[in-house]
């Protein structure tokens, strides 16, 4: 039996830096670029259990073996170097499930084009042409990422595939287990407890998010695989975590577009710089509150528009066609930018550096653009725009004719409401 699961990438549209603090809500969108995991059960041929994971797009292959009599868990990398994210996911998941029977799983990973730069690639299609993936000629460590939550998507989709198969349930029935396992594994692989918004979006989709307390999982991050570790994992995963993940899609007629600016930022350095400033400067409280107010108004406006579209769709359509519907939302985006610019100047971190400021200023002049931000921690990774859906093609055509946008590559993706989904296995045959 073969099953396939998908988990989306993400863009943190509102809540950069504040997302680290459990006092604040943030808004994160799921993106149509997904990580995919195809899992199949093969005959058992050894006296131990085995999980093999392959990534044909990057020529990666990893093997994990489990001796049931001793509880010993070990990894064996054949190609592609050690992958701590897959390794930690397998470790946490086995601790939670504690399978008693021998098994032999093969997992094949695929990633949609939006996660990496697309130079030196070859297109390959499934037998029914429903799926297309780019196969890279360079090894994975030489391929630049676009900052859309690749590792979170990887951990979440592998967790979903293994949990749904081991527990013989639809992913939707065990979605909170998938989330908790994925958060623990992702933090373990990174060696630190992050905000968790990227994993939450990969599992739940587009959401208003408020983080869980780091204390929930801090005690188990450095533990070795043992019976005590397994008991701790079960207890923590099955506990109800105190965090917010309220579904909130973009309203009808509004489109998110992402632009890769061929740059790159050191997110840990930026975060460290902001946190150091926050701990030393008394003014940081008012800066954070200013940005939080802008974020909250933005999220409230999204909810208001979604409610309007569902309660009075005909009037919503009239105002959309009149071009007046998104004026308040545009003002909210401008306020978020002002807050990020204030944070940039006060902290000294390149959250919205001059080059990105100039680019976003130019974007605001484009047809249909309500405004844009540097998503997440900011820097030089990407820009994120919210655009009237009817004007997207016009906007992109305008930028092709303007040298100011020469460094921008518009990524072929959209916002998606769903997180983890089960896909049709036949759409992946032949890959």
Other beta carbons less than 10 A from residue 262's beta carbon:
15
Same domain, 168 and 293: no
Same domain, 113 and 86: yes
Same domain, 221 and 269: no
Coil, helix or strand at residue 270: helix
Same domain, 331 and 393: yes
d(Cα 25, Cα 194) in Å, to the nearest integer?
A: 15
Same domain, 171 and 137: yes
Contact (Cβ atoms closer than 8 angstroms) between residue 79 and residue 61? yes
- Domain range spanning residue 226? 2-247+417-428
Same domain, 369 and 421: no
The closest alpha carbon to 264, from 144, 148, 404, belongs to 144
Helix, strand, coil percent content, the chain, rounded in steps of 5: 45, 25, 30
Same domain, 310 and 219: no
Structural domain count of the chain = 2
Same domain, 58 and 202: yes
Domain with residue 78: its CATH number is 3.30.230.10
Same domain, 393 and 262: yes
pLDDT, tens digit only, all 431 positions of the chain: 899 999 999 999 999 999 999 999 999 999 999 999 999 999 999 888 999 999 999 988 999 988 876 666 666 656 667 899 999 999 999 999 999 899 999 999 999 988 887 888 899 999 999 999 999 988 777 887 777 889 999 999 999 999 999 999 999 999 999 999 999 999 999 999 999 999 999 999 999 999 999 999 999 988 888 889 999 999 999 999 999 999 999 999 999 999 988 766 678 899 999 999 999 999 999 999 999 999 999 999 999 999 999 999 999 999 999 999 999 999 999 999 999 999 999 999 999 999 999 999 999 999 999 999 999 999 887 899 999 999 999 999 999 999 999 989 898 889 999 999 999 999 999 99
Same domain, 103 and 216: yes
Same domain, 195 and 311: no
d(Cα 412, Cα 95) in Å, to the nearest integer?
A: 38
Domain with residue 408: its CATH number is 3.30.70.890
């Amino acid at each position: 039996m073969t099953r396939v699961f998908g988990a989306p990438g993400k863009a943190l549209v509102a809540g950069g830096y504040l997302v680290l603090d459990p006092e604040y809500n943030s808004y994160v969108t799921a993106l149509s670029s997904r990580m995919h995991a195809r899992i199949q059960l093969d005959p058992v041929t050894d006296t131990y259990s085995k999980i093999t994971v392959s990534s044909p797009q990057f020529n990666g292959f990893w093997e994990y073996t489990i001796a049931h009599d001793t509880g010993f868990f070990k990894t064996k990398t054949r190609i592609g170097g050690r992958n701590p994210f897959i390794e930690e996911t397998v470790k946490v998941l086995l601790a939670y499930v504690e399978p008693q029977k021998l098994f032999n799983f093969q997992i094949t990973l695929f990633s949609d084009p939006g996660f990496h730069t697309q130079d030196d690639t070859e297109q390959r299609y499934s037998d029914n042409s429903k799926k297309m993936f780019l196969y890279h000629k360079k090894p994975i460590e030489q391929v630049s990422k676009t900052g859309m939550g690749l590792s979170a998507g990887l951990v979440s989709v592998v967790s979903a595939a293994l949990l749904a198969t081991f527990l013989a349930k639809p992913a939707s029935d065990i979605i909170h287990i998938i989330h908790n396992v994925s958060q623990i594994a992702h933090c373990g692989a990174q060696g630190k407890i992050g905000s968790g918004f990227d994993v939450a979006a990969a599992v739940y989709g587009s959401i208003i998010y408020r983080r869980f307390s780091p204390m929930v999982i801090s005690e188990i991050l450095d533990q070795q695989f043992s019976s005590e570790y397994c008991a701790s994992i079960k207890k923590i995963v099955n506990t109800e975590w105190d965090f917010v993940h309220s579904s909130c899609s973009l309203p009808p007629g509004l489109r998110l577009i992402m632009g890769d600016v061929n740059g790159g930022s050191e997110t840990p350095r930026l975060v460290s710089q902001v946190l150091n400033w926050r701990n030393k400067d008394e003014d940081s409280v008012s800066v954070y509150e200013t940005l939080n107010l802008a974020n909250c108004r933005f999220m409230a406006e999204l909810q208001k528009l979604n409610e309007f579209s569902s309660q009075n769709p005909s009037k919503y359509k009239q105002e959309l066609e009149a071009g007046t519907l998104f004026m308040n939302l545009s003002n909210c985006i401008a306020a978020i930018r002002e807050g990020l610019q204030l944070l940039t100047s006060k902290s000294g971190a390149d959250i919205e550096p001059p080059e990105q400021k100039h680019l976003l200023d130019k974007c605001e002049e484009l047809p249909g653009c309500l405004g844009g931000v540097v998503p997440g921690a900011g820097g030089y990774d990407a820009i994120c725009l919210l655009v009237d859906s009817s004007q997207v093609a016009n906007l992109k055509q305008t930028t092709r004719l303007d040298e100011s946008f020469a460094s921008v590559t518009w990524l072929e993706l959209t916002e998606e409401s769903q997180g983890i989904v089960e896909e049709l296995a036949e759409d992946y045959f032949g890959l």
